[in-house]
Structure 1
Amino acid sequence: MHFFEYKDGQLFAEGVPAAELARKFGTPLYVYSAATLRRHFEAFDSAFAGVPHLTCYSVKANSNLSLLSLLKDCGAGMDIVSGGELHRALTAGVSPDKIVYSGVGKRADEMRQALAAGILMFNVESAAELELLSAIATDMGKTARISLRINPDVDPKTHPYISTGMKKNKFGLDIESSLATYQRAMALPGIEPIGIDCHIGSQLTSLDPFLEALDRIMRFHERLSGLGLKITHLDLGGGLGIPYNDEEPPHPTEFGEALVKVLKDHPMTVILEPGRVIAGNSGILLTEVVYTKKTPTKDFIIVDAGMNDLVRPSLYGSFHAIREVEPKGRPDVDVDVVGPICESGDFLAKDRNIPAVEQGELLAVFSAGAYGFTMSSNYNSRPRAAEVLVDGDKVTLARRRETLDDLIALEKN
């Protein structure tokens, strides 16, 4: 569910007409719904009420400070994968003891930054990372609470670029080598192993991969208990999918019930790391039609949003619904919706049936709240889009549009 609805013949973001936002802030423009963010967080978080848990929003999905602050006020912790994301979470007022640090390539300076902040836990992904973290923590007189990210070799049945829990993926440690690495962690100075971490992929539309991975992790937990290691935190990652088109992913309540059934008798705090399921359908991308173009073989709608603004269709072949902001009742046409970037791979949709539109009209690209702005770039020296947050009839400019001077501010002439 989301709060982007048509009323009186035009698209509204909560209580504000989308066309009004485009006129005021320009396009391309990311528009986020505060009510949707709150609803999605509460729906996910409440699904795990049956066990001690901490819902750590995955910052990489959408890292705008206004959104992080809103989710913090809802009770969210944060899952981070860089020093920059840690800085954002702390700036948004998130308590360090509600932050977990994932990622395969943590640098020494990032480890120091996180240790100084006093985060809850590092999700360690290699033996080499563990050794470096021990040395840094010991040098700082700190203790690093850690889990090891276990790769359970489960096929999540998702796009290969967002699959993370198979042997061929770069993430985590296989179960057998993990046992020896936990024993090493128990002996290292400056290290306190408290958790197990597992994340198998993103945009999962079935519970089966989650449950298969959980079964393997719980059997591994028994082996750790046999070593005398007390695990207090079980990090199950994120990955629950959303409906972009005709997908039917499990509802968070169904997801929670299935996991709570397995975990309710185990005295551990469960950590969840949802990102897309919270932010994905909380945002749209508004774009203006610059030209329409007919060729002997293809019709095009050329818009002012390109792959630098929303790369998912080009990168993953992803589907995003595209709709008129102010429908005119024209018949559908078969078109490619493309941007201004000098690449044939610059498209928002291919061979899509949408109503015919004219130059100067507005389109809305739906399900753009996750991995939209955070993956955007300045390719072709294009300033990045503005972002606004709508809360009822209140509109906050969450990030101003970049200027041409911003593009060159860090460069030497």
Structure 2
Amino acid sequence: MRAAFFFLEQAMPPEAGFSTFAGVELAALGEREGTPLYVYSAPAIRARVRALQAALHGLDAGICYAVKANGNGAVLRLLAGEGAGADIVSGGELQRALRAGIPAERIVFSGVGKSDAEIAMALRAGIARFNVESGAELDAIQRIAARNHAVARASVRINPDVDARTHAKISTGKAENKFGVSIAEARGWFDAKAQWTNVRLDGLHMHIGSQLLSLDPVREALRRMAAFWRDLEAAGHAIASIDVGGGLGVRYREGEQAPDAGEYVAAIREALAGFKGRILVEPGRWLVAEAGLLLSRVLLEKQGDARRFLVLDAAMNDLLRPSLYEAWHDIVRIGDNAGRERIGYDVVGPVCETGDTFASARALPRCRAGDLVAILGAGAYGASMASTYNSRPLAAEVLVDDGRYALVRKRQTFDEMIAGERPATDWITA
């Protein structure tokens, strides 16, 4: 798997420094657009989606990008232009996908808690199918579809009870996780599907977790899903779609090795040999994580009694993963680092939380106030999980491509951040 800094143009070790991203000078970009700033490489995203498409060649298969990874409209439009569909988990993500030009017939709706309003919205839009996660949801889809004189296509999300060997907070395929239903319960749904007259139950779905660095759990989950598909067909239940989910991991740090698209698809081909229906895959992180970085400026160095701190203008509200998951991101100083001594820093933000820490005891070239650093591998679950905690407006986002860039989300102003707030002057009795 390529290193997190692969798409930075200079193919040199981190201590030598970086200066450009997709042909754009990062120092000039930071000066012009300010920091913190999310920067996404269009060539890197295109390369990933095309690699997956090439691996899937010859299969009746579709890519449904997991919008939750990065829902920026420009990123979605880029992926739509490459022929990708969308995997959504909310009504808001549905609207984002549609506005970006992703056809409804290439959209699947996952998630354990779809509201009646969201189900109705998706039915009106004409999405490809619902990935159903509970009996209550199946009943709700039936009720809403009947009321709207519609027929909803649906897949059962099975929980194969497979340990994804990833962080506990992003593992979704074990029996104790909230996602999906057991194979036994799913079998009961198919046997009784005649009672849901407005739901065409003809698909299977699974997703065992995120940031999967080994294909062994994937193979085991695929094996269990394939066995269930064959059992269902033997019992007379035609299966038109098998959605194998997403979760393919990326390289965040030295020593990590993630599968490539070819290895991943080979596992799918082997498990689903003989399947005549449509196969769907739901990559998110794998398509965009390594294509993005968070550009930040050093505010100051601080020598504590026990630690040396490098304080950035980016914070946990901008990039939550290190605080939430103890996630590692490579951090590099922008510019020429030749001859600079290396210092062990705790790299932190200005938010009033001890958890506002990007890295501990991280060796970096000596940094001074005003220097730029890039937090790499930040294209997924970065801006999409950001907040305005500590009343910090949301960062700007840019897309870079062949020496040029476009501002794809302007920096939020303070007035925009508080625009929805009102004084308590108009009191209403409920």
Pairwise TM-score range, normalised by the shorter structure: over 0.9
Residue aligning to 2:428 = none
Q: Look up the SS of the partner of 1:228 in the other structure.
A: coil
Q: 1:4 aligns with which of 2, 8, 20?
A: 8
1:148–1:182 CA contact under 8 A, matched in 2: no
1:279 pairs with 2:283 = no
Structure 2 residue corresponding to 1:128, chosen from 124, 136, 155: 136
Using the alignment, how far apart are the partners of 1:383 and 1:60 within structure 2? Answer: 20
- 1:409 positional shift: 0.3
SS in 1 for 2:405: strand
The correspondence of residues 357-368 of structure 1 with structure 2, limited to 5 A, is: 357-368=367-378
Distance in 1, Cα, partners of 2:398 & 2:67? 18
What SS does structure 1 have at the residue aligned with 2:40?
strand
C-alpha separation in 2, matches of 1:193 and 1:164: 22
Is 1:411 aligned to residue 421 of structure 2? yes
Aligned partner of 2:54 among 23, 35, 46: 46
Give TM-score scaled by structure 2 length.
0.94
SS of structure 2 residue aligned to 1:31: strand
For residues 204 and 125 of structure 1, what CA distance do their matches in structure 2 show?
A: 22
Distance 2:224 2:267 in 1: 15
Equivalenced residue count is 413
The one-character-per-residue Cα deviations of 1:154-199 (angstroms, maximum 9, x if unpaired) are 0010000000000010000011111112233343121001210010
* Pairwise CA distance, 1:223: 2.1
Hey, what does 2:148 align to over in structure 1?
Answer: 140
- For residue 4 of structure 1, give the secondary structure of its aligned residue in structure 2: coil
Which residue pairs with 2:426 in the alignment?
none
Which structure 1 residue ranges, 4+ long, deviate > 6 Å from structure 2? none
Partner residue of 2:88 out of 71, 75, 80: 80
Counterpart in the other structure of 2:63? 55
| C-alpha separation in 2, matches of 1:350 and 1:297 | 12
Partner-residue secondary structure (3-state), 1:234: strand
Give 1:95-110 correspondences, 5 Å limit: 95-110=103-118
2:56 and 2:209 mapped to 1: Cα distance? 20
Distance 2:147 2:335 in 1: 61
Deviation at 1:51, TM superposition (A): 1.5
Give the C-alpha shift of residue 296 in structure 1.
2.0
Shift of the 331–125 alpha-carbon distance from structure 1 to 2, 3 Å rule, reads same
Q: 8 Å contact 2:166–2:209 — kept in the other structure?
A: yes
- Deviation of 1:314 after TM superposition, in Å, equals 0.5
Could you tell me how far apart the structure 2 residues matched to 1:388 and 1:236 are? 32
Question: How far off is 1:407 after superposition?
Answer: 1.2
User: Structure 2: which 5+ runs fail to align?
Assistant: 424-430
Tell me, yes or no, if structure 1 residue 372 matches structure 2 residue 382: yes
Over the matched positions of the two proteins, sequence identity in percent amounts to 45
Other-structure match for 2:274: 265
SS at match of 2:193: helix
SS in 1 for 2:305: coil
What is the SS of the residue equivalent to 1:390?
A: strand
| Amino acid aligned to 2:210 | S
Moved more, 15-24 or 128-137: 15-24
Amino acid at match of 2:10: Y
Counterpart contact for 1:341–1:380, Cα < 8 Å: yes
Q: Of 289, 308, 312, which residue of structure 1 is paired with 2:317?
A: 308
Q: Which residue of 1 aligns with 2:412?
A: 402
| Native 8 Å contact 2:226 2:271 kept in 1 | no
Letter in 2 for 1:405: D
Amino acid at match of 1:188: W
Gap regions ≥5 residues in structure 1: none
- What residue in structure 2 maps to residue 159 of structure 1? 167
Quick one: distance in 2 between partners of 1:377 and 1:314? 13
CA deviation vs aligned residue, 1:309-334 (integer Å, no higher than 9, x gap):
00000000000000011133311111
* Contact residue 246 and residue 282 of structure 2 kept, 8 A: yes
What TM-score do you get using the length of structure 1 for normalisation? 0.98
Out of 297, 301, 305, the residue aligned to residue 288 of structure 1 is 297
CA distance in 2, matches of 1:185, 1:386: 48
How far did residue 5 of structure 1 move?
A: 2.4
